[in-house]
Structure 1
């Protein structure tokens, strides 16, 4: 009888198949080794004979959830099986009390600056997960920050021959951002000054994205007491400035625990795959791009095996979570790289909790 059509959800499994599948995956995550039907019958507590378990294992193998890496009868989960387990059978609880205490103590050092904090977080994740810890430093994006003042300063013509202005954006937290923008010839210095004064008055204490629609509405309805040149400058600027941008070239990636990762990967992965993994780790810009994908998700994101485009051939998994500033804007990410047999039930809450701690500590550092 057909047990589970290919790629069907977990709810289509019968109770026996679900129990057998769960026990096989849990055994694999603990030992890294395939398990046979006789061993499973003796150790799992299932009220099933080895023959019944063997038949169920054969069905699960046929549908791509288990594999037999050797000629023995032992089975272990495939990547599809691990994904099904993590999404449908894994029970996540609170962070283990010992892990929570260790993280709280290490990441609550008031004397540590932001760089030290992130290095400590990466090292802690490496130690707790038995893999490599990753921390992507905060973006320098100012989207979501309140503005205090805006200035337009005339510059010489740029490479295209168009006139240029230096736009100085001063934010409420003291951050200063300089941007270059081109504008049509014929704009007088008075229009530059007028545009700066107009924006400063209407942006003070507000974010660019929050104030954008009100400012554009005031201009379009003719209520703004500025000339057309100044209005064009403002419209052009707001169109560019209020969009989120990520300048990845100024983002640092902190990786700790590479030697530990090597030790844990060596038990299940051939040397060539390990070398590929470490070559991937050296390509930090690619890794930054991978972690940036975590910023599209509100919570922990898990890449298993080939789901992970960067480490697709190295039989590794990545667990990553974004951290946020006080305004709940995502500004960076923390994570772990390890073998596919990571203890997901323990590591997922740890990564999530670490992300929360890093966000809170960065906010405390900012307020001091």
Structure 2
């Protein structure tokens, strides 16, 4: 495919207007757009006022530039990923939410369940309902201060790690340990960690413990050291099971992605997207890219390796804590033809509200 233009300066005014109206029509209908459709719409709305033949010539030029494509034998055209990127970056007119829409989002979030990650699960559900896509939230790592940790053998090769936080909450994890692990090693590991964990979060505790182990200053035998490292890893997220940096991914509204399925290829696209959403570790890595810049970020199709096959777009924004540190990411994932003008302000405003929620 030829390289498309980098900016609208590479298009004349007539080409820009045809391109803009074609993409807007495609995003509204999901169908390839023909020259007669654009000509009739232009006559009614004062948009493109060209004959179908003239519009076809412009569309052919835009297709040659890699901005449009013609699916199958259809006479209509649809934007390519490069075309969508140019439209989003240079032509998209992002509206603002109405007072009623803002109040509706605030009401949904303020009424959410305040247990575990209930509020963030509600955020994901709210984003899904408003966008008619799947809502995504990357929950921050737990930063509560630690009080006590105990290791309890449950079966040969498996040990229950019980952690008590200063706020009174308790969490349990099963960790793998050597089958011949003596009870004395578990007791030694518990005593060692409790002397260093109390009053710290896991990030702080893990740094201190790891520094001691690396410097060979910890008076632990090999088996006990393995228990200590496994006990920290299962909460800090450095193990392969826990995910990316100890964060959790909340996805709601997958069923919304099936609403507009009209053909077998659409069904296959959604099936691939469902598979992508199950690849949580890669998805977490993708969403953390949103932390590299302020505000809303948009990933279209093959711009992300994860969604290159399903033809999907992701709109995400980070949210921060009381120290203005980015602690998580939220957004939506849906087809590349989603309503960018509406979804972008929804994601942006929700991120601002969540910033207040987590402070």
Matching residue of 1:135? 137
SS at match of 1:338: strand
Structure 1's 278 and 347: CA in aligned 2 closer, same or farther, altered over 3 A? same
Task: State whether structure 2 residue 350 is matched by structure 1 residue 354.
Answer: yes
Matching residue of 1:19? 17
Structure 1 residue 122: Cα displacement: 0.5
Matching residue of 2:257? 261
Q: Distance in 2 between matches of 1:311 and 1:259?
A: 18
Q: Distance in 1 between matches of 2:261 and 2:313?
A: 11
Matching residue of 1:285? 281
Matching residue of 2:70? 68
1:114-165 Cα distance to aligned partner (Å, 9 max, x none): 61211111011111111100011013479xxxxxxxxxxxxxxxxxxxxx99
Structure 1 residue 284: Cα displacement: 1.2
Q: Distance in 2 between matches of 1:271 and 1:186?
A: 58
TM-score, normalised on structure 2?
Answer: 0.71
SS at match of 2:97: coil
Paired residues of 1:32 and 1:268 also in contact (CA < 8 A): no
Please list, as runs of the form range in 1=range in 2, the aligned pairs for 1:31-42 lying within 5 A after superposition.
Answer: 31-42=29-40
Q: Distance in 1 between matches of 2:339 and 2:99?
A: 16
SS at match of 2:358: helix
Matching residue of 1:87? 89
Structure 1 residue 177: Cα displacement: 3.8
Q: Provide the alpha-carbon RMSD of the alignment.
A: 2.9
Which has the larger displacement, 318-327 or 114-123? 114-123
Q: Distance in 1 between matches of 2:37 and 2:216?
A: 81
SS at match of 2:259: helix
Matching residue of 2:56? 54
Structure 1 residue 184: Cα displacement: 5.1
1:10-40 Cα distance to aligned partner (Å, 9 max, x none): 1221110110000000000000001111111
Paired residues of 1:92 and 1:345 also in contact (CA < 8 A): yes
Structure 1 residue 55: Cα displacement: 0.8
Matching residue of 1:297? 293
Paired residues of 1:123 and 1:133 also in contact (CA < 8 A): yes
Matching residue of 1:107? 109
Structure 1's 96 and 78: CA in aligned 2 closer, same or farther, altered over 3 A? farther
Structure 1 residue 109: Cα displacement: 2.6
Aligned residues: 283
Paired residues of 1:136 and 1:254 also in contact (CA < 8 A): yes
Paired residues of 1:96 and 1:346 also in contact (CA < 8 A): no
Q: Distance in 1 between matches of 2:356 and 2:94?
A: 23
Matching residue of 2:270? 274
Matching residue of 1:343? 339
Matching residue of 1:326? 322
Matching residue of 1:190? none
Matching residue of 1:43? 41
Paired residues of 2:294 and 2:318 also in contact (CA < 8 A): yes
Task: State whether structure 2 residue 310 is matched by structure 1 residue 308.
Answer: no
Structure 1's 186 and 337: CA in aligned 2 closer, same or farther, altered over 3 A? closer
Structure 1's 13 and 178: CA in aligned 2 closer, same or farther, altered over 3 A? same
Q: Distance in 2 between matches of 1:19 and 1:102?
A: 35
Q: Distance in 2 between matches of 1:186 and 1:355?
A: 44
Task: State whether structure 2 residue 205 is matched by structure 1 residue 178.
Answer: yes
Q: Distance in 1 between matches of 2:291 and 2:329?
A: 7
Structure 1 residue 94: Cα displacement: 1.8
The correspondence for 1:10, drawn from 5, 8, 11, is: 8
Q: Distance in 2 between matches of 1:303 and 1:265?
A: 22
Q: Distance in 1 between matches of 2:125 and 2:262?
A: 20
1:191-211 Cα distance to aligned partner (Å, 9 max, x none): xxxxxxxxxxxxxxxxxxxxx
